[in-house]
Amino acid sequence: MAPKSFDFPSADSDYQSGFGNHFSSEAIAGALPQGQNSPLVCPLGLYAEQISGTSFTAPRKLNQRSWLYRIKPSVTHEPFKPRVPKHEKLVSEFSQVNSAINPTQIRWKPVDIPDEPTDFVDGLYSVCGAGSSFLRHGFAIHMYTANISMENSAFCNADGDFLIVPQTGRLWVTTECGKLQVSPGEIVILPQGFRFAIDLPDGPSRGYVAEVFGTHFQLPDLGPIGANGLASPKDFLVPTASFEQESRPGYTIIQKFGGELFTARQDFSPFNVVAWHGNYVPYKYDLSKFCPYNTVLVDHGDPSINTVLTAPTDKPGVALLDFVIFPPRWLVAEHTFRPPYYHRNCMSEFMGLIHGGYEAKADGFLPGGASLHSCMTPHGPDTKTYEATIAGGDNVGPHRIRDTMAFMFESCLMPRICPWALESSYVDHDYYQCWIGLRSHFNPNNTPNSHNNGHPEIQE
């Protein structure tokens, strides 16, 4: 469990709101310096420390950094040493040595929570990814299963940003900027370099993690949608300052660096920040607050219309990684095959399911499971979904998709798959069978009305 001195926020009012704002917070009034960032002597005898998420000379609109005012600086620790035992299932540089390529559609069943004591760090494992944290370009997709809280230790990812999607079990996340309570149906973003600890108030927890190298997540442009819709900046929540000052002998910092884990000992908690200000900060978002847009006449919209966050590349409109959701919503399109269409995509798609069912898969895709459809590999609704959809005919009325939350990590890079993911006992080897039953409905004697693009006359 979390330290008893920590009361985790339970309402939105306990956080600051906004996306990309310049925030400020102090746990003790007067702890923030006035008029400058690094005075000769900081208020309350604190140390000033900056954490930078971008290079110093990045354009102002892209520059991210925060100033932390702490009881002891984070540099006060023993040398880092390789963690023992070595974590064998974390990857931050994908190559032929440690991963393989496979264009086949792959689906995984939900992974069981381990019986042996396992915290977030030990329960984290890479599934697939591309690129390299060393070259500052690429991504990794991980999953985790855990059943105990992190004990007298904190984790720091020097490789990239984590976007964590819990599927079962709440996470109490302690960061240097404050505390975040994250429930299934919410996400939390932990930027590169921040130290954090994860406690499990409900016991076992399972979920998904996307990691991006060399860039940060941002809100997608809305284009013709206009000024509103999708994820609203005001619904992103940032912690408020809180701190620990008690002595913590033997406290361990676990640093992920190039996909390997290192540890360093210190005698105090890293969560000793009394005040902070800046725009580089952990944050969370409740997916139920997403405002979906959809077609109101014909055809099924592209999944990009459901993008919550994007990590861009230098090429306009091309994402290193998009985080896309498929929330409850109305389907109203007329004369339209409403589930997602069959397609091949130059992007690669990793899907997960938080709860409920997914509209394109009648069977087999379960909460806590996952699927991977790589670049230009065909995919789409299973046979049951297709047959049930066309059997409903052209006169079905509006239909509301309820009680579901599926998501997708989508990338322009081709993912390499880790061997333990390909060899896992949770691989659904019969996944391909869901499409084998698709039969030909071709009838050359059924000539459509040419002026109606193959559809019957539209009745007013």
Active site residues: 300
Helical (H) or strand (E) element with 436: helix 433-436
Please, what's the b/e burial string for 409-420 (b: 16 or more CB within 10 A of its CB; e: otherwise)? Answer: bbbbbbbbbbee
Which 3-state string (H, E, C) describes 211-262?
EEECCCCECCCCHHHCCCCECCHHHEEECCCCCCCCEEEEEEEEEEECCEEE
Does residue 358 have a known ligand-binding role?
A: yes
Q: Please report, to the nearest 10 degrees, the dihedral formed by the alpha carbons of residues 334, 336, 340, 344 taken in order.
A: -140
What single-letter DSSP state applies at residue 58?
A: S
Proportion of the chain in helix, strand, coil states, percent, rounded to 5: 10, 35, 55
Q: Are 368 and 353 in contact (CB under 8 A)?
A: yes
349 has binding-site annotation: yes
Closest by Cα among 39, 53, 71 to 278: 53
Task: Judge whether 355 is annotated as a binding position.
Answer: no
Tokens representing 450 are: 């040419």
Q: Is 293 annotated as a binding residue?
A: no
β-strands 283-286, 47-52 pairing: unpaired
Is the link from the previous residue into 328 a cis peptide, with omega within 30 of 0?
Answer: no
Q: What are phi and psi of 257, to 5 degrees?
A: -140, 110
Q: Which residues are annotated as a binding site?
A: 343, 349, 358, 379
Q: Which residues are annotated as a binding site for homogentisate?
A: 358, 379
Q: Which residues are annotated as a binding site for Fe cation?
A: 343, 349, 379
